[in-house]
Amino acid sequence: MSNPERGAVEFRSVRKDYGGFTAIPDLNLRIEPGELVTLLGPSGCGKTTTLRMLAGLETPTRGSVMIGGQDVTRLPPNRRDVTMVFQSYALFPHMTVAQNIAYGLESGGMKPAQAREAGNRGLELVGLDGLGDRLPSELSGGQQQRVAVARALVLEPQVLLLDEPLSNLAPACAAASAPRSASFSKGWVSPRSMSPMTRTRRWRFRIALSS
């Protein structure tokens, strides 16, 4: 019998206080494997705080954060298999685009040649193939944001968090990127863009953040 908890994300009575300010009063939320969830609300309502608690960058004042049936509330970020794409890109300015994308793979033990190949596929996936030799400063803000997304995707995390992923794209570019982003919520990566291993791996869930 399959485990209904496997692959699910859950917030159980989560509260987050900052001094005398309550950012999250009482959050109960369950996200099933394969779901795309978008958090909407005004500035300051707790959207980013919620993602940061799931990523391990913030610790709830009380309550539990669960991933795949495991309580990860006190686990550090590097033990969660969660990747977060920040609105600020967080690219390494001294590295090329290709090096930025391959960095996490190489840090995880992948051979440099394989990491570069995966990085090139990641660039193709976000429509930036051919720009791998450029520095981040030579790209537009929207292109840098897509590099940050590609860097996260090639890691194949169990949970992918996107903090306003289309906010720095021009309207026409954002509209063109939305169908591509939505395709990931269905659980499959484009076969022509990724490796044979990735083609058969199901992406369990995505959480996108929008203001």
Exposed e or buried b per residue across 75-101, where buried means at least 16 C-beta atoms within 10 angstroms of its C-beta: eeeeebebbbbbbebebeeeebbbbbb
Reading the chain (211 residues) residue by residue, the pLDDT tens digits are 345 455 689 999 999 999 989 999 999 999 888 777 888 888 888 888 999 999 999 999 999 999 988 999 999 998 888 888 877 778 999 999 999 999 989 988 999 999 988 888 888 888 888 899 999 999 988 888 889 888 988 888 888 888 876 665 555 455 444 444 443 333 322 222 333 333 333 334 444 444 4
Write the CATH number for 63: 3.40.50.300
- Could you tell me the residue range of the domain that residue 76 belongs to? 9-84
Q: How far apart are CA 84 and CA 157, in angstroms?
A: 9
Assigned domain for 131 exists = yes
Q: 81-125, pLDDT tens digit by residue?
A: 888 887 777 899 999 999 999 998 998 899 999 998 888 888 888
Domain end (from 64, 84, 104):
84
Q: Which class for 149: exposed (0-12), middle (13-18), buried (19 or more C-beta within 10 A)?
A: buried
pLDDT at 185: 35
Provide φ and ψ at 88, rounded to 5°: -85, 10
Our count of domains for the chain comes to 2
Same domain as 104, residue 58: no
Q: Are strands 36-39 and 159-163 parallel, antiparallel or unpaired?
A: unpaired
Domain assignment present for 96: yes
In a domain, 196, yes or no: no
Residue position matching structure tokens 């990931």: 184
Is 55 part of a structural domain of the chain?
Answer: yes
